[in-house]
């Protein structure tokens, strides 16, 4: 698929001259569930506008591109569930080919004594260990890092992919920058900002451009993506043929609580 084979799906948003605090305060008072930080759900913002039409008179508009599948395969729509997922607003999912679950944990920094069954009561926190769970899905081992990003680090991706392996990391960070990174045989091939895909780094930053195009994203355009994490997860699924579902979050499951991670 070439850059001329599609027209990106553009969505228009209204940007009123007010802070998010005003919308959050109204949402809470009206009975909506809204977090104290991060993205406000579009339906809440639209409901706020409907209740305050006078604010829209001074609102500006801006466009974003919504990623959606243009060819058969994983789609961002498959990952709409994670927008309000129990994974929270900071996490890293790493797909690793060529290693079993325990070896993935070791290369992520876990000692053998750290490895155990992780249950629903185990969570990463500033004063405690970092929790990572692993499960085998098809030919890949999938590690889910609770509120962390060690699996995104270049040296860790190198370790996870060395000796002919592959690793794909999807990192969500609602207060910083999202990433989708791909490493092969110890080398970082590309690291893409899925919110602004023209921002690409690595030994071969254009290696995944085919997948961007298949999701209706023009790799050469200075477009901002409306649904960056569903897009990043869809790219990872297209590389690995592994689809993460809410069922894969169920515990107890093998993992590690790594001391002194913070």
Q: What pLDDT, in 10s, does the model give residues 48-73?
A: 888 888 877 667 788 999 999 999 99
For 100-158, the pLDDT digits (tens) are 999 999 999 999 999 999 999 998 987 789 999 999 999 999 999 999 999 999 999 99
pLDDT of residue 1: 53
- Are 47 and 95 in a shared domain? no
Report how many domains make up the chain: 2
Mean pLDDT of 210-215: 96
User: In which residue are the tokens 């169920």 written?
Assistant: 250
Sign for the pseudo-dihedral over CA of 99, 101, 103, 109: positive
Mean pLDDT of the chain: 91
Question: Is the domain of 128 the same as that of 151?
Answer: yes
- Residues 141 and 205 grouped into a single domain: yes
| Residue 254 contacts residue 133 (beta carbons within 8 Å) | yes
Q: Kindly state whether residues 32 and 105 are assigned to the same domain.
A: no
What pTM, to 2 d.p., does this model score?
Answer: 0.84
Give the domain CATH number at 44. 4.10.320
Q: Which domain holds residue 50?
A: 17-58
Q: 53 and 97 in one domain? A: no
Residue 196 lies in a domain: yes
Residues in contact with 151: Cβ distance below 8 Å, sequence separation at least 6, in sequence order: 92, 93, 94, 108, 132, 143, 145, 157, 160, 169, 171
């Amino acid at each position: 698929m070439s850059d001329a084979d599609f027209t990106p799906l553009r969505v228009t948003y209204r940007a009123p001259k007010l802070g998010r605090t005003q919308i959050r305060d109204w949402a809470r008072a009206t009975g909506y569930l809204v977090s104290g930080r991060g993205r406000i759900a579009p339906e809440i913002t639209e409901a706020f506008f409907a209740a305050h039409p006078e604010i829209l008179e001074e609102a500006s508009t801006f466009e974003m591109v919504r990623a959606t599948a243009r060819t058969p395969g994983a789609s961002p729509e498959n990952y709409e569930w994670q927008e309000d997922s129990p994974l929270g607003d900071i996490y890293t999912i790493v797909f690793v080919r060529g290693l079993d679950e325990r070896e993935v944990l070791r290369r992520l920094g876990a000692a053998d004594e750290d490895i155990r069954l992780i249950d629903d009561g185990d969570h990463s926190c500033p004063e405690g260990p970092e929790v990572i769970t692993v499960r085998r899905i098809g030919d890949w081992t999938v590690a889910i890092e609770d509120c962390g990003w060690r699996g995104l680090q270049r040296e860790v991706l190198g370790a996870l992919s060395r000796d002919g392996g592959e690793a794909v990391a999807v990192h969500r960070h609602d207060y910083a920058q999202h990433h989708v990174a791909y490493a092969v045989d110890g080398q970082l091939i590309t690291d893409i900002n899925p919110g602004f895909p023209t921002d690409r780094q690595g030994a071969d930053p254009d290696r995944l451009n085919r997948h961007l195009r298949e999701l209706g994203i023009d790799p050469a355009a200075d477009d901002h993506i409306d649904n960056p994490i569903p897009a990043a997860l869809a790219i990872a699924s297209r590389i690995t043929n592994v689809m993460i579902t809410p069922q894969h979050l169920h515990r107890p499951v093998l993992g590690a609580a790594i001391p002194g991670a913070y």
